[in-house]
Amino acid sequence: DANRSFFLTGTNGAVPTGTAFVSNEWDAIDGTANGVNTGYTWTTYAERLEAAGVRWMSYQNMPDEWGDNMLGAFRQFRRANIASGYPVSSGGAPGQPYTSTGQALPYHAYDAATDNLNNPLYKGIANTLPGTRPEQYLDAFKRDIREGKLPQVSWINAPSIYCEHPSPSSPVQGAWFIQEVLDALTANPEVWSKTVLIVTYDENDGYFDHVPSPSAPSPDGKGGYAGKTTLAPADLGPEYYTHGKPAGSTKQPAADGRVYGPGPRVPMFVISPWSRGGWVNSQVFDHTSVLRFLEARFGVKEPNISPFRRAVCGDLTSAFNFATPNTETAPVLQGRKDRSQADALRAAQQRLPQIAPPAA
Segment 230-256 mean pLDDT: 95
Band of pLDDT at residue 335, cut at 50, 70 and 90: confident
Segment 247-258 mean pLDDT: 95
10 Å CB burial of residue 279 (0-12, 13-18, 19+) is exposed
Instruction: List the beta strands (DSSP E) in the chain.
Output: 56-59, 153-156, 197-200, 218-219, 225-226, 268-271
Rounded to 5°, angle at Cα 81 from 247 and 74: 25
Contact 7, 75 (CB under 8 A): no
pLDDT score of 327: 81
Number of H helices and E strands in the chain, helices first, is 12, 6
Segment 153-174 mean pLDDT: 93
Segment 113-121 mean pLDDT: 96
Q: What confidence tens digit (pLDDT) does each residue in 176-230 have?
A: 999 999 999 999 999 999 999 999 999 988 788 999 899 999 999 899 999 999 9
* Region of poorest pLDDT, from 93-107, 164-178, 225-239, 295-309: 93-107
Angle between helices 339-350 and 171-186 (to 10 degrees): 170
Rounded to 5°, angle at Cα 30 from 155 and 300: 35
Alpha helices in 187-267 (DSSP H): 189-192, 233-236
pLDDT score of 104: 67
Give the three-state DSSP class for 329: coil
The whole-angstrom separation of Cα 254 and Cα 20 is 11
The whole-angstrom separation of Cα 73 and Cα 28 is 7
pLDDT higher than threshold 90 for residue 18: yes
Q: Write the DSSP symbol of residue 346.
A: H
pLDDT higher than threshold 80 for residue 98: no
Backbone angles phi, psi at 264, to 5 degrees: -60, 155
pLDDT higher than threshold 80 for residue 92: no
Q: What confidence tens digit (pLDDT) does each residue in 148-162 have?
A: 999 999 999 999 899
pLDDT higher than threshold 50 for residue 100: no
Q: What confidence tens digit (pLDDT) does each residue in 37-68 have?
A: 999 999 999 999 999 999 999 999 998 888 88
Backbone angles phi, psi at 116, to 5 degrees: -95, -10
Residues in contact with 227: Cβ distance below 8 Å, sequence separation at least 6, in sequence order = 215, 216, 217, 218
The whole-angstrom separation of Cα 343 and Cα 173 is 6
pLDDT higher than threshold 80 for residue 288: yes
Question: Parallel, antiparallel, or unpaired for β 218-219 and 225-226?
Answer: antiparallel
Segment 124-136 mean pLDDT: 92
Is the bond preceding residue 273 a cis peptide, omega within 30 degrees? no
* Mean of all residue pLDDT scores within the chain: 92
pLDDT score of 124: 98
* Region of poorest pLDDT, from 146-150, 163-167, 244-248, 345-349: 163-167
Segment 172-177 mean pLDDT: 96
Q: Please count the other Cβ atoms lying within 10 Å of the Cβ belonging to residue 131.
A: 18
Give the three-state DSSP class for 343: helix
In percent, how much of the chain has pLDDT > 70?
96
Q: What confidence tens digit (pLDDT) does each residue in 304-314 have?
A: 999 999 999 99
pLDDT score of 103: 58
Enter the CATH code of domain 2-209+260-319: 3.40.720
Segment 260-287 mean pLDDT: 92
pLDDT score of 97: 42
pLDDT higher than threshold 90 for residue 27: no
Residue 104 or 264, more confident: 264
Contact 216, 239 (CB under 8 A): yes
Rounded to 5°, angle at Cα 23 from 269 and 33: 100
pLDDT higher than threshold 90 for residue 163: yes
Domain ranges of the chain: 2-209+260-319
The whole-angstrom separation of Cα 52 and Cα 280 is 33
Segment 284-312 mean pLDDT: 98
pLDDT score of 208: 86
